[in-house]
Amino acid sequence: MPLGANRYGKSEVRLVKLSRGPDRHDLRDLTVDVSLEGDFDAVHTEGDNAGLVATDTMRNVVYALAAERPIDSLPSFGAALVDHFLGYPRVTRARVRVREHPWERMTPHAWQRGAGGTRVEELEGGAGAGRHAAGVEDLLVLRSSGSAFEGFDRDRFTTLPETGDRILATVVAARWDYRAEAGETVWAAVRDTLLGAFTDHHSPSVQFTLNCMGEAVIEHHAEVERISLSLPNRHHLPFDVSRFGVEDRGEVFHATTEPFGLIEATVERG
């Protein structure tokens, strides 16, 4: 039976490129899919892998080319990837799909994504006292500077290296209880306080940053009695491109979603 049309590739290559300027950092957050067609019938019908480009190689090419060249144009970056893959002898067609995840700058070294998170309001009435709570979900924020993780416990199972400089990214979920009547503008003010407190300090840990954010809300908003925060640590792992003969300037990262650290705590008035 003849083999019909076929293709293969690497999908969901999560690439973050951080260009470190003297006064600010520039961020490109991409998901890249690669698909190749060519003379690969024998791979399917005879189990002969000669000339087959491994999908792991495709992933490495994405990171290496991102390290070698500026990503100031997504079309030119995609075209460079296509040209590279067409250079393999058995590849006759290459398709590269690049999706960019936009970030809104907050400071020279911090960003938020989306429209500022999803607003939540919860009110309750009936027998006994009424209750008003509010919150924010899906508030995705990132810092490219001023975050570290050092001095933690180590034993024979510990492989994580200590670092004095890392990307800190999280999806903030917060819920707060009002102790006084809250008008329409209070929610946005609390959300903005959370954003400001995410960036205004050196962060030795996600735990420390969570507490700073909670304390800022309690300090600046008399209407809030307590706030509970959940901060998953969205890891951005440095990708070593030096093994491909490319200078590693610490600009290329692999953004992961699973597994992740999850830090949760409540800050309330004394």
- Parallel, antiparallel or unpaired: strands 131-143 and 118-124: antiparallel
Q: Is 17 a catalytic residue?
A: no
Surface-to-core class of residue 226, CB atoms within 10 Å of its CB (0-12 exposed, 13-18 middle, 19+ buried): middle
Residue closest to 37 by CA, chosen among 16, 10, 7, 64:
7
Which is the catalytic residue, given 31, 55, 57, 107? 55
Which is the catalytic residue, given 10, 17, 221, 236? 10
Residue closest to 44 by CA, chosen among 9, 11, 10, 6:
6
Q: Is 55 a catalytic residue?
A: yes
Q: What gap in Å lies between CA 101 and CA 88, rounded to an integer?
A: 30
Which is the catalytic residue, given 25, 84, 221, 235? 235
Q: What gap in Å lies between CA 114 and CA 60, rounded to an integer?
A: 29
Q: How many helices (H) and strands (E) does the chain have?
A: 5, 12
> Contact 109/146 with Cβ under 8 angstroms?
yes
User: Catalytic residue numbers?
Assistant: 10, 55, 235
